[in-house]
Structure 1
Amino acid sequence: MSERKIRLGAFLMSSGHHLAAWRHPRAWAGGGLDFAHFKRVAQTAERGKFDAIFFADNLALMGPPELASLTTGGDVFDPLILLAGLAAVTERIGLISTVSTTFNEPYGLARRFASLDHLSGGRSGWNLVTSATDLEAQNFGLERIDQHADRYARAEEFIDIATGLWDSFDDDAFVRDQASGQFFDPAKVHVLDHRGAHYPRVRGPLNIPRAPQGYPVLVQAGSSEPGKELAARTAEVVFTAQQTLAGAQDFYADLKGRLGKYGRTADELKIMPGISPVLGATQSEAEDKFAELQELIDPRVGLGLLAGMAGGFDLSQYPLDGPLPELPESNAMKSRQALFIELARRENLTIRQLYLKIAGARGHNTVVGTPLQVADVLEEWFTQGAADGFNVMPPFLPEGLDQFVDQVVPELQRRGLFRHEYEGQTLRDNLGLVRPASRYAAGARARQSA
């Protein structure tokens, strides 16, 4: 077995991850709809031998127009369409898109991801999420979002249908014999004919051959109890927000410990906490850069960030320099709400201090320091049972990613912690994940051996 290496994803947003990134004089404020910008940063990540680039998504303009107008939320590509374009200008790096199970249907999603996998030569990944806001529900004919447990129950059925549809054709079904006129072998096509609670019937099959990777790499980001259980059963990569080494170790042990009951081993799931590195040649320079970003935060946007994580709870009626009040349980992002409440209580933060604390990466770990110091943090978390890799969240682009690739990656390589070259052609190859066998092929082998 090859020596264990750090896995790296580049989590890309238009101008960067800091709440005020687009206002920084060295950020590209117009990056949201600039394909050349995304091409540049994707190729930078590939030059750094990152495993994948990753895009989040939501299905609404978040907040009222007066608040949203202070953010880049109205300037966002559909990530699957963007990744299809980036597939043509990259060669080895993985392409991971967030797509919600709440407001999509399994057949259409399975077909789109199979298409991306073929277009990219086996580099697609699906970050499965459940939509969390009433604003999204109201764009799809509903008044309120479903309850958290119901959204996850739907997601459980959704992913089972999607994986079944990806097995519609055997790997060798398409013969394309021009002489005989046989395009595919009808004995090697499978009708799913799913019947279920949330999807009464999904017939199938897909009208596209089985993808190069079999399935796209299955990614998840939920850290609630239903989220962790779904991840233990189905996910191959988990993105998570952890503030401390101890918290990350607890999450890592908990999630890896759930795999056995689903017949899975620890190597079948890569856990990658988010990290936002603010880099400087010295500690002082890095701190000055971070302070410059912090000074650009509009308090209205800071409060909006907290409201979004609190399920829409309005904190503007409370003193900015007073304590965080008791909050009702959210029906939105339960794990993220719990994270920032615990942070506020642990560090005795005011409302203003709390939004400043999470402004860099929305609850993910922000590390401010030199390249060596950032590499030290990554090495500690990787070697001390807290992470298999990291989802890197540059504070602003393109500089933040350039600096990480040019300064931190070589240090990780020098320490023997990160690859010098890609191991294979597909995202699965590079992550060290097996290509899933078709359920029908497994059944045929069992019948032959009986």
Structure 2
Amino acid sequence: MSSTKRQLSLGLSIANLGYHYAAWRHPGVPADGNMDFRHFVHCAKLAERGLFDLIFLADSSAVRDLDRPAIARDMEHQIVKHEPTALLAALAAVTRHVGLVPTASATYNEPYNLTRTLCTLDHISGGRAGWNMVTGFSIDEARNFGLDKLHDSDTRHARAAEFAAVLRGLEDGGTLDHAGPHFRLRGSLDMAPGPQRRIPIFTAGTSDNAEELAARSADVVYGGQPTIETARAYYASVKGRLAKYGRSPDELKMMPGIMAFIGRTKQEAQDKFDRMQELIEPRLGLGLLTVSSFPDYTGYDLDGPVPELPMPGGRKSEFIDIALDKVRRENLSIRQLYELVSGGFWHLGVVGTPTMVADVMEEWFTTGAADGFNIQPPCIPVDAEDFVELVVPELQRRGLFRTRYEGNTLSDHLGLHQTQQRAMPLPMPAAGA
């Protein structure tokens, strides 16, 4: 951005049909849209009309949770999907400005092939490629690549740090002679450096390893904090690690997810939310509880109190603790619990008017909780259209968001400057790696 005033970065996550688990049942959503290229063309052009920095495609190379028969597979719209890099390469031909960020695993790819793929995307899009670097968390994905179990976190994150450093070395266009704990290669990329020279890397995660990887290797962090207090702590924690890698705080963008039900009145927004909750089939809701590591409540009275059952394998998470605390405080039923989980508010959730949504975003942006947001529409495209038509103008009115594209590349949109065109230090091997 050429403007000296700090402005929001916005991404639109267009994976699947939306972040509400019943999205495919909404009358404004194409139920078969996951495999329909026209659906993604519409969404990409919508993001560009809204002047978004980027579109984002989450991914895991697997049909997950195959060992859990309670999941209602016939009611899951996430079960089928395109490979994200190939899809975004096609979308590059029908867009001009918006950035294109696919997800690809550093655990199940090799640096040379992926760098070659991403640089090709950067060339054909005119400098709009990014990479969401993940390390994998699904046993089903591991099995698809010949493994019987997941690598431990230290190994996965050490491999990812080395992967990112090798990618940076290949991007420079010279001959790389690398021998490290996880990768060996000697050669150069068989193409000219991409228009950006340095493709922006996105990461996510709240573990100590994930935060350290973000501070070392990432340009953008896709955060997942549900409250402003936890978001500020996360923001400070990740940015506080940058100095040890010779980086300044403005070299890393924090872009938490936000899921908004938007209405011209508060009641209209609440009605939209309530209608979506009513579309959750009980079999889907119960299955989602098991996926989320809650006990299997099949056979219990859905409108009765949540029974005290042991957690599967003793597994608990911060989200489960928060949800179960709410269950106890408000005496929720099983139905109300799966509605809570199915509603999709894993990140920041807002039900309100454009002004209310913009108020929340502005507070997070101006008080050390966010540098921008990844918009997670409950239903795509209808809720994304609401955001573009109703919230974007309000953000522009406040001077928080651009009124036109001022650059050509994803790095331009994000304000990532040439001062970042430096070699990335190779990581030391992790203990036991």
TM-score in terms of structure 1 length: 0.86
**Root mean square deviation of aligned Cα:** 2.2
Which ranges in structure 1 are unaligned for 5 or more consecutive residues? 170-188, 331-336, 441-450
In the other structure, the counterpart of 2:52 is 50
In the other structure, the counterpart of 1:223 is 206
Deviates more, 1:280-289 or 1:125-134: 280-289
Structure 1 residues 263-305: Cα deviation after superposition (integer angstroms, max 9, x where no partner) = 1111101101101110112111211111111122233433443
TM-score in terms of structure 2 length: 0.89
Q: Give the number of aligned pairs.
A: 411
Return closer, same or farther for 1:324/1:40 CA change in 2, 3 Å cut-off: farther
Q: Distance in 2 between matches of 1:2 and 1:306?
A: 46
Q: 2:257 aligns with which of 271, 274, 278?
A: 274
Q: CA deviation at 1:323?
A: 5.2
In the other structure, the counterpart of 2:180 is 196
1:377 is matched by which residue type in structure 2? Answer: V
Which ranges in structure 2 are unaligned for 5 or more consecutive residues? 425-433
1:120 is matched by which residue type in structure 2? Answer: S
Q: CA deviation at 1:214?
A: 1.1
**Residues 307 and 314, structure 1, Cα contact 8 Å, conserved in 2:** yes
The residue matched to 1:264 in structure 2 has which SS? coil
In the other structure, the counterpart of 1:389 is 372
Amino-acid identity (%): 49
Q: Distance in 1 between matches of 2:182 and 2:345?
A: 32
Q: Distance in 1 between matches of 2:400 and 2:337?
A: 34
Structure 1 residues 83-120: Cα deviation after superposition (integer angstroms, max 9, x where no partner) = 00111111111001111111111111111001000011
Q: Distance in 2 between matches of 1:318 and 1:152?
A: 41
The residue matched to 1:10 in structure 2 has which SS? strand
Return closer, same or farther for 1:328/1:318 CA change in 2, 3 Å cut-off: farther
Return closer, same or farther for 1:128/1:318 CA change in 2, 3 Å cut-off: farther
Q: CA deviation at 1:249?
A: 0.9
In the other structure, the counterpart of 1:174 is none
Q: 2:318 aligns with which of 323, 327, 339?
A: 339
**Residues 276 and 360, structure 1, Cα contact 8 Å, conserved in 2:** no
Return closer, same or farther for 1:38/1:48 CA change in 2, 3 Å cut-off: same
2:180 is matched by which residue type in structure 1? Answer: G
The residue matched to 2:64 in structure 1 has which SS? coil
Q: CA deviation at 1:13?
A: 2.4
Q: Does 1:358 align with 2:378?
A: no
Q: 2:363 aligns with which of 380, 391, 396?
A: 380
Q: Distance in 2 between matches of 1:250 and 1:220?
A: 17
**Residues 20 and 293, structure 1, Cα contact 8 Å, conserved in 2:** yes
Q: Distance in 2 between matches of 1:397 and 1:257?
A: 36
Structure 1 residues 51-88: Cα deviation after superposition (integer angstroms, max 9, x where no partner) = 10000001111234863222123320101011001111
Q: Distance in 2 between matches of 1:86 and 1:329?
A: 44
The residue matched to 1:387 in structure 2 has which SS? coil
Mapping of 1:16-415 within 5 angstroms?
16-64=18-66, 67-167=72-172, 169=173, 189-190=174-175, 192-199=176-183, 201-310=184-293, 315-316=296-297, 321-322=306-307, 325-326=310-311, 338-348=317-327, 352-361=335-344, 363-415=346-398
Q: CA deviation at 1:324?
A: 7.2
Return closer, same or farther for 1:294/1:161 CA change in 2, 3 Å cut-off: same
**Residues 114 and 215, structure 1, Cα contact 8 Å, conserved in 2:** no
